[in-house]
Each structure stands twice: as structure tokens, then as C-alpha cells.
């Protein structure tokens, strides 16, 4: 394959970027090559569209670009691992879109005004806005700890009241909304195909439970677009009187504000399918917007077969698990299953995931050492500037790179089949370990490049800047690392002079304080006992 500024020659065929990639000037050469390959060989990303109840080829509205909206947190409490699983699943989606050459615009909202937030603040005796801000920071910290790519825009509901009022006006003018006693409701009978997204018939639906009373509703199933002000509650002025927005209205206003009246992908947990996403879709379409072309829903995290939920009281907070395993290991656990499946939590499954990630990490570290590189210094696979975009400023194609196995790309193109993609990853790690045993430098380098390219897509490269900074950036860790390395050098000196008793004594002393030493062909390495 030969490359110049305007074309490449691939298997005797000359491809010009401008023939099929109108956005070629804005993306990396690796992403341009990925786009060329996909166009030439008709390789297509396929995603399961909830609305179609089928896997569909992904065909974006604008060629070469992808717009993604994900329902973010309602910040009445701190994040549990169900929230974090959704974040990881959609982070992998965005990374794969970028790896495939798409220029992605990613929007994830924050619901900072809601009945649940008001009730939680009242129970705690704090202002609603203070509770929302505190919990939002906890979510942001959780996303960052798990290496999730920051969204391009993260709008808050309270910052978009004018857009919500304008949307209600459009619905009222079209006969889809009506005012009653200070509230404004959406008329579900006026919405053609209401229930189609979730596969329900209107006649079988229960009454909407988003207001204290259904007295002002034409039909109990009509849902609130705007809620009239109550004493002590926050409110905003509108043509229908003071009040606050309904939950479903918020996402419709924010998604179209930043992605337009038609965008590519709308995502969220499967628990949001009804009524939230059904109502979003109904009001947006009724207002004249095309809205989302694909609906993606991730499965939930369960404990003993029961959905993890604050209302049930069976939640596992993300912070609790991060006291048991490292963020990388928790991310591996949350992302290892297919995104649409239910993830049944157990301590054993978490430990198995941590061990699996450590096997990958050990190979990457050993391979770096074997190639004469410092494993503690982050570097990019395939000559890329930032693996997986973990630096916080990913660009299109940030996760692309030479050496992604076809088994991996086929799996990711098949509705993000991460289990099959991980099988390809672990197979390459095994090949790399064989190359290490044989001292095959070329084999080591090839396997390392492929492994790191796959890890970049999954957000798991142990040598990425974000993980490196997180593991070794604080002064305490650096001090401990320096002291342990000093002890290990003394141990090596003792072994060199055949004083094995002294060497064993140093190792035993380290183990007593929780430091496990492993002797490898590349020298001793240490980690904290788990």
C-alpha cells in the first residue's frame, strides 16, 4: 500500500479521498483510510434500533458525521453502577464511531430539576439546587474515573427553559397540548402512533403518574409538559403561569437545541423506553421534528435477578466498588457484556473481570519492556496522538490505528458485539505472550500494536495518558513507588552477591505491608495485594 497527499493504492486500486469522504480534511489519515476501506468493501456498522425491533445498517443523516444524544443522569443521588454501565456502553459506541471515521457530535444531558430531586432535597433539608450540583459533580467524577470521553455538550435542564416554552407553544398551536389549572398536558390521542416505540397499545396503558391529580386531564394517560407552581418549589414564568418543566419535555428541547430537529442516535437505559422515550418521541414528532433515526437501549445491572434501583434499595454505588477494584477493572467489568444484555452483578464476576484485565495489562507492560520502552510512560499505538481519546480532547479517528484484526472490527460492526471483540483481543494477547516467550521481537511489536489499538477503542489501554495519570499522578503513589523500587534494587543487589536470605527477607517484608512482588523475565514488578 502506498500513500500520498491525495490518494492511496490498495490492492492495485487507486482511491481518492475526495471521491467518498467529504470530511477528509477534518479527520486523521488513519480515519480516512478506515473510511476508504469501508466505502470500497461495503463494510457497514449495524445497530439494533429499538423502534424497528431489528438490527439496521447505520446510515447517518450527513455522510461522515454522526450525532448522538444520550439521556444522562437525573441527579437526585450519587451514581450507582447501573448509571456507570450506561455511560461506558455509550462511550464505547462513540469511540467506535470515531474509530470508523465518523465526526461525532455527542450530547448527554443533565436533569437538574425533577420531582425526585425536590423530594430528596426536602428530605435532606438542603436547597434543591445545592443537592443537584453536589450529585452532578459526583457523576462527573464517576465518568472521569472510568475514562469516559466527555460529551461535546452537556446541557442542564434549568438552562433551557426558553426552548421548552417554545416547544410547548408549537404543540399547543398544533392542537397537541392543552392547559388546565396551571398545568399543560400532552394529548396522547392527538399523537399518531403513540406507543409504537415501546410496542404498546394506548388502550393497555396505565394512567401517567407524573402529577398529583388527574382532575385537569382529558385522559388519565396524558402526560405533563409543564407543572404549575407549588408553594416552596422553584418556578419560571410562562404564558400559562409560573411553574416548572415536565421530565419528558426537557430532553426533547435539549436534544434538538444542539443536534437539530433530526439527528442520528438517541440512547439510554432500557428502563427509559417507556414512558420517557415514548413521550419524548411523541411530543417531538407532533411538533414537526423528525427527531431520532435510531434508538439504542442498554440493558440494566441486576442483583439476584432484580433491577438495581434506588427505590428498591439494592444499589451498589460506584464509589463502593472502586474501593475494591481499580477504575480500569470496573470499566472492563461494566463493558464486557453485550450492551443490550442484563448484567447480573456478583463479587465473583467482578473479580474475574479484574483478573482478565490484569492479564492484558501484564502483557502490555512486558511487551513495552521487551521493546525497550518505559512501561510507565504513555505512548500511542500505531503512531496516534492519544489512544482512545482519553486525554479529553479526542478527534475523529482518535481510536483508529493500523492493526485492528478483522475479527475485532467485524464484531464491533455487528451491533457493538464487545464479547466477540474481547475474544479477538485475548487471542492476540495469547499470541503476544508466545512471542515474548520465544523472544520474537517482531511478533511482540505486532501483537502489542494490535492489542493497544483494540484497547483504545474499548477505552482500556493501560498506557493511555488518563489511566497513567490516574494510577501514578499523585504524590503519595509516587513516594510509595519510589520506596518500593529502592527496596527491590536492594533485593537485586543481595541476589547478585548470592545473599538469598537477605533477598527473601526484603520480599517478605514487602509482602507483610501488602506489596506483592512478581519476578518476570524483564525484572521484578510490584502491585498492591488485593
Domain extent listing, the chain: 44-55+65-321, 366-387+402-466, 474-530
Instruction: Please give the average per-residue pLDDT across 41-56, as a whole number.
Output: 88
Rg (CA), the chain: 26
Counting other chains too, the contacts that 381-384 makes at CB distance below 8 Å and 24 or more residues apart are 381/448, 381/449, 381/452, 381/453, 381/455, 381/456, 381/461, 382/30, 382/449, 382/452, 382/453, 384/28, 384/30, 384/456
Pick the CATH number of 366-387+402-466 from 2.60.40, 3.40.190, 1.20.120, 1.10.3470: 1.20.120
Q: d(Cα 433, Cα 35) in Å, to the nearest integer?
A: 32
What b/e string do you get for 45-68 counting C-beta neighbours within 10 Å, with b at 16 or more? bebbbbbeeeebebebeeebbbbb
Pick the CATH number of 44-55+65-321 from 3.40.50.300, 1.10.287.110, 3.40.50.620, 3.30.465.10: 3.40.50.620
SS (H, E, C) 13-37: EEEEHHHHCCCHHHCCHHHHHHHHH
Burial classification of residue 288, based on how many CB atoms lie within 10 Å of its CB (0-12 exposed, 13-18 middle, 19 or more buried) = exposed
Q: d(Cα 280, Cα 295) in Å, to the nearest integer?
A: 12
State the pairing for strand pair 262-269/291-298.
parallel
pLDDT in tens, 343-380: 999 999 999 999 999 999 999 999 999 998 766 555 54
Whether residue 528 has a cis bond before it, omega within 30° of 0: no
Q: d(Cα 158, Cα 513) in Å, to the nearest integer?
A: 50
Average pLDDT, the chain: 85
- ∠488-490-491 over CA atoms, to 5°? 60
Instruction: Please give the average per-residue pLDDT across 261-278, as a whole number.
Output: 97
Q: d(Cα 252, Cα 218) in Å, to the nearest integer?
A: 23
* Whether residue 281 has pLDDT greater than 80: yes
H or E, element range at 68: strand 65-70
Determine the angle formed by the axes of helices 475-496 and 465-472, rounding to 10 degrees.
80
pLDDT in tens, 88-114: 999 999 999 999 999 999 999 999 999
* Whether residue 245 has pLDDT greater than 70: yes
pLDDT in tens, 139-196: 999 999 999 999 999 999 999 999 999 999 999 999 999 999 899 999 999 998 999 9
Q: In sequence order, what DSSP letters do the residues of 224-260 get, joined into one string?
A: EEEEE--TTS--B--TT-SEEE-HHHHHHHHHHHHH-
Q: Read off the pLDDT band of 36 (50, 70, 90).
A: low
Instruction: Note whether 415 and 50 are within 8 A (CB).
Output: no
C-beta atoms surrounding 188 within 10 Å: 24
Q: Residue 33: what pLDDT?
A: 57
Q: In sequence order, what DSSP letters do the residues of 345-407 get, joined into one string?
A: --HHHHHHHHHHHHHHHHHHHHHHHHTT--TTS---GGG-SSGGGTTS---TTTT--TT--HH
* Whether residue 37 has pLDDT greater than 90: no
Nearest to 73 by CA among 159, 119, 133: 133
Amino acid at each position: 500500500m502506498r500513500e500520498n497527499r491525495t490518494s492511496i493504492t490498495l490492492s492495485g486500486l487507486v482511491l481518492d479521498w475526495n471521491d467518498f469522504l467529504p470530511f477528509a480534511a477534518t479527520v486523521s489519515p488513519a480515519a480516512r483510510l478506515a473510511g476508504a476501506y469501508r466505502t470500497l468493501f461495503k463494510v457497514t456498522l449495524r445497530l439494533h434500533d429499538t423502534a424497528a425491533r431489528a438490527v439496521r445498517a447505520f446510515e447517518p443523516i450527513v455522510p461522515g458525521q454522526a450525532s448522538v444524544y444520550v439521556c444522562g443522569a437525573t441527579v437526585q443521588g450519587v451514581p450507582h453502577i447501573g448509571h456507570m454501565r450506561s455511560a461506558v456502553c455509550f462511550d464505547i459506541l462513540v469511540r467506535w464511531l470515531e474509530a470508523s471515521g465518523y465526526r461525532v457530535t455527542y450530547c448527554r444531558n443533565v436533569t437538574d430539576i425533577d420531582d425526585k430531586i425536590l423530594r430528596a432535597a426536602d428530605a435532606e433539608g438542603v436547597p434543591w439546587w445545592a443537592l443537584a450540583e453536589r450529585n452532578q459533580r459526583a457523576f462527573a467524577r464517576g465518568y472521569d474515573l472510568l475514562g469516559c470521553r466527555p460529551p461535546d455538550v452537556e446541557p442542564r435542564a434549568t438552562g433551557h427553559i426558553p426552548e421548552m416554552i417554545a416547544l410547548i407553544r408549537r404543540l399547543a398551536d398544533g392542537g397537541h397540548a392543552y392547559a388546565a389549572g396551571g398545568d399543560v398536558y400532552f394529548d396522547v390521542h392527538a399523537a399518531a402512533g403513540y406507543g409504537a416505540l415501546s410496542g404498546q397499545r394506548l388502550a393497555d396503558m396505565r394512567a401517567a403518574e407524573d402529577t398529583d391529580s388527574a382532575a385537569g386531564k382529558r385522559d388519565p394517560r396524558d402526560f405533563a409538559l409543564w407543572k404549575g407552581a407549588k408553594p416552596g418549589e422553584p418556578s419560571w414564568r410562562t404564558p400559562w403561569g409560573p411553574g416548572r418543566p415536565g421530565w419528558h419535555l426537557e430532553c426533547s428541547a435539549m436534544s434538538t437545541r444542539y443536534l437539530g430537529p433530526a439527528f442520528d442516535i438517541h440512547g439510554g437505559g432500557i428502563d427509559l423506553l417507556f414512558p420517557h422515550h415514548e413521550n419524548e418521541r411523541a411530543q417531538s414528532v407532533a411538533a414537526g421534528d423528525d427527531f431520532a433515526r435510531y434508538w439504542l437501549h442498554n440493558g440494566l445491572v441486576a442483583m439476584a435477578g432484580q433491577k438495581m434501583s434506588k427505590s428498591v434499595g439494592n444499589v451498589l454505588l460506584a464509589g463502593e466498588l472502586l474501593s475494591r477494584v481499580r477504575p480500569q477493572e470496573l470499566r472492563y467489568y461494566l463493558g464486557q457484556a453485550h450492551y443490550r444484555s442484563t448484567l447480573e452483578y456478583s463479587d465473583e464476576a467482578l473479580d474475574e473481570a479484574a483478573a482478565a484485565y490484569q492479564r492484558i495489562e501484564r502483557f502490555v507492560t512486558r511487551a513495552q519492556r521487551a521493546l525497550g520502552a518505559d512501561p510507565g510512560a504513555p505512548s500511542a499505538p500505531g503512531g496516534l496522538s492519544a489512544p482512545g481519546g482519553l486525554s479529553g480532547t479526542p478527534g475523529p479517528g482518535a481510536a483508529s490505528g493500523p492493526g485492528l484484526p478483522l475479527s475485532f472490527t467485524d464484531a464491533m460492526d455487528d451491533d457493538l458485539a464487545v464479547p466477540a471483540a474481547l475474544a479477538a483481543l485475548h487471542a492476540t494477547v495469547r499470541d503476544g505472550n508466545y512471542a515474548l516467550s520465544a523472544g520474537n521481537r517482531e511478533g511482540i511489536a505486532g501483537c502489542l500494536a494490535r492489542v493497544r489499538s483494540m484497547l483504545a477503542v474499548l477505552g482500556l489501554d493501560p498506557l493511555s495518558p488518563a489511566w497513567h495519570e490516574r494510577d501514578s499522578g499523585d504524590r503519595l503513589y509516587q513516594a510509595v513507588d519510589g520506596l518500593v523500587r529502592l527496596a527491590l534494587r536492594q533485593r537485586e543487589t543481595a541476589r547478585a552477591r548470592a545473599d538469598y536470605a537477605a533477598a527473601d527477607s526484603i520480599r517478605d517484608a514487602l509482602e507483610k505491608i501488602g506489596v506483592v512482588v512478581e519476578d518476570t523475565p524483564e525484572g521484578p514488578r510490584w502491585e498492591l495485594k488485593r
